Amino acid sequence: ELATANAPELGMQTVPSLNIAYTKEKGYVTADVAEKENLTKLNLSGTKFRQMLRAGEEIPEWFAFKSVVKVLRDELVNASN
């Protein structure tokens, strides 16, 4: 809302983004569709993600691309050396 309110003064246009959820039944849908259709949303907190990343556990592809997970894991190794 702040960006939209100040966009004309800054000479820019905001682009709204949809709140996306990943569901068991349909994969990626907007959050309002997930609620309306009472779909089972899958969630992974940032804390749980970091724990899984450090432990070398499999990160679900609906949460992060494998290429991103590889870069993050490589950086964890480099940071610990």
**Mean pLDDT in the chain?**
94
pLDDT tens per residue across span 47-78: 999 999 999 999 999 999 999 999 999 999 88
Helix, strand, coil shares of the chain as percentages rounded to 5?
Answer: 50, 10, 40
Reported pTM: 0.68
Q: What span, in angstroms and rounded, lies between the C-alpha atoms of 77 and 13?
A: 41
